[in-house]
Copies of this chain bind each other. A is one copy, B any other.
Amino acid sequence: MNANVPDITQNNGQTEFDRFQDHYPTRRASDPAVLARSEPVAYGSAHVGPLDQLALNQYAESGFIHFDHFFNSNELNMFLKELNSIRTNQSIKSQAGSIFEPNSQEIRSIFAVHNKSEIMHSLCYHPRLVLIAQQLLGSEVYLHQTRINYKAGFRGQEFYWHSDFETWHAEDGMPRMRAVSCSISLTENTHHNGPLMLIPGSHLSFVSCVGETPENNFKSSLRKQDVGVPDDESLQKLIEHRGIISTTGPAGSVTFFECNMMHGSNSNITPQPRSNVFVVYNSVRNRLVAPFCGLPARPDFVAHR
Residue positions of A touching B, CB distance < 8 A: 153-154, 158, 160-161, 191-192, 194, 197, 232, 235-236, 239-240, 244, 246, 264-271
CB-defined A-B contacts under 8 Å, sample of 24? A154-B232, A154-B235, A158-B269, A160-B269, A161-B269, A191-B246, A192-B197, A192-B244, A192-B246, A192-B266, A194-B266, A197-B270, A232-B271, A239-B270, A239-B271, A240-B271, A244-B270, A264-B269, A265-B269, A266-B266, A266-B267, A266-B268, A266-B269, A267-B267
With a cutoff of 8 Å between Cβ atoms, the chain B residues found around residue A268 in the complex are 266
- In the A-B complex, the 6 residue pairs with the smallest Cβ-Cβ separation, listed nearest first, are A191-B191, A267-B267, A236-B271, A266-B266, A266-B267, A158-B267
> A265 to nearest B CB, angstroms?
8
With a cutoff of 8 Å between Cβ atoms, the chain B residues found around residue A264 in the complex are 269
**Given the known A-B contacts A191-B246, A192-B244, A244-B192, are A271 and B197 also in contact in the complex, defined by CB atoms under 8 Å?**
no
With a cutoff of 8 Å between Cβ atoms, the chain B residues found around residue A191 in the complex are 191, 246
> A158 to nearest B CB, angstroms?
5
Residue from the set A235, A246, A264, A267 with the largest chain B CB neighbour count within 10 Å: A267
With a cutoff of 8 Å between Cβ atoms, the chain B residues found around residue A197 in the complex are 192, 269-270
- Identity of the chain B residue whose Cβ is nearest the Cβ of A267 in the assembled complex: B267
Measured in the bound complex, the distance between the Cα atoms of B267 and A192 in whole Å is 11
With a cutoff of 8 Å between Cβ atoms, the chain B residues found around residue A267 in the complex are 158, 266-267
> A211 to nearest B CB, angstroms?
16
- Identity of the chain B residue whose Cβ is nearest the Cβ of A239 in the assembled complex: B271
With a cutoff of 8 Å between Cβ atoms, the chain B residues found around residue A239 in the complex are 270-271
